[in-house]
Amino acid sequence: MSPANEAMSAVNEAMNAANEAMSAANETTSVANVAESETKEVRVALLGTGAIAQVVHLPLLSEFPGVQLAAVCDVDRPKATAIANRFEIPTVYRNDAQVFEDDDIDAVIICTPSHLHEAQAIAALESGKHVLLERPLALDPEGARRVIDAAERADKALIVALNNRYRPDVRALLPFLRGGELGELFFMKAGWLNRKMRTVRPTWRHRLATAGGGVLMDLGTQVIDLCLWLLDYPEIERISAHTHPGEGMEVEDAAAVMMRLKDGPVVSVEVTWSLLAQRDRHYLQVLGSHGTGSVSPLVVYKEVEHGLLDLTPQMASVQENPYTASYRQELSHFLAVVRGEQPIELPHDQVELMRLIRLAYRSAEEGREIEV
């Protein structure tokens, strides 16, 4: 094949990847269009009525056809009652056991402090409920395995709310990485840097016993999971981490993690609750031998014989921000699994994720790189 034909072939392959990425992204941003007449009603209960429940889960679930917000449960009963009234939820339970004993409840969404996740998820699964819970699945890999084992015994859905996997821009980038369009990947860098907010008094997130860690457990689990998921959860060879103690709290407010893969790129992650800036920052960038890709903003370039080819997929024109769109798609997927429209795929990779989080904390504590 002549050099010109080789170049044209490379361009065509790259454009095919771009078209696939655009299709995936547009599909991700669309709301599940299931005819109400054919939709099995799903009765959902929420445990915990904090910010994530109020800002994301309840507003979005109230828009889905065939979903009834049947109950909420929170230790702060007056708050739970006020939220139930706002979203026209008929039942406010006093404790978790009442939710699990309600045979009319099909699915439970867990939005409680992290140290409660394992026990609540297992109890919900054992009572025959499908479960979606906010990260982390548990505070350690052993706990994550116990929850997954409970889901296997119950034959029920178990999904961890790692919503970044469902972002439209992430879904658009995915085919380029998995399909090898960028060549051999040698470096990936990602971060989630939240603006510093004045803390009047510590919350459960700032206590080791209730959170299991600080920003590394909170934001780090999301970012590390996203990097490894994009790479199809490769084997990690070594990990090193550094943390910064938070002011007026028991846990760290900043962390940096470096992972050396056995066969793949070096992955660098940074997270913080203490960015001094006007707005939060979220980013991911990957470098390959034949191209680069990033999200926030979404950009894809591939090297061809005569220069660089811009393969950045053109996203569907939507008003919804990527964060809300990701949760909408994640909830759509969860409901489809609950209805039996999609297969149950248990989050076995979360055991590995929590093992890496544990090793990262150990590396930071011991001040050295850890062989995985």
Q: Is the pLDDT of residue 98 over 90?
A: yes
Give the three-state DSSP class for 4.
Answer: helix
pTM above 0.75, yes or no: yes
- pLDDT for the residue 347: 98
Across the chain, where does the E strand assignment appear? Answer: 42-47, 67-73, 91-93, 107-110, 130-133, 158-160, 185-195, 236-245, 252-261, 266-275, 281-288, 291-295, 299-304, 307-310, 370-371
Across the range 327-345, mean pLDDT stands at: 97
Whether residue 275 has pLDDT greater than 70 = yes
pLDDT digits (tens, 9 = 90+) for 155-208: 999 999 999 999 999 999 999 999 999 999 999 999 999 999 887 789 999 999
Shared fold status for 9-27+164-318+348-371 and 36-161: no
The residue ranges of every structural domain in the chain are 9-27+164-318+348-371, 36-161
Quote the tokens at residue 142. 């052993």
For residue range 296-319, what is the model confidence (pLDDT) as tens digits? Answer: 999 999 999 889 999 999 987 766
What pLDDT digit, counting tens, does each position of 238-269 carry?
999 999 999 999 999 999 999 999 998 999 99
DSSP 9-37: HHHHHHHHHHHHHHHHHHHHHSPP---GG
Using the Cα atoms of residue 155, residue 160, residue 164 and residue 168 in order, give the sign of their dihedral: positive
Cβ neighbours for 41, distance < 8 A, ≥ 6 positions apart: 66, 67, 68
Q: Does residue 44 carry a pLDDT above 50? A: yes
CATH for 36-161, options being 3.40.50.410, 3.40.50.150, 2.20.28.90, 3.40.50.720: 3.40.50.720
Please check whether the domain covering 9-27+164-318+348-371 is classified as CATH 3.40.1390.30.
no
What is the SS3 assignment for 208?
A: helix
Encoding tokens for residue 283?
């980013």
CA-wise closest residue to 152 among 297, 353, 364, 351: 351
**Residue whose C-alpha is closest to residue 197's, from 273, 250, 271:** 273
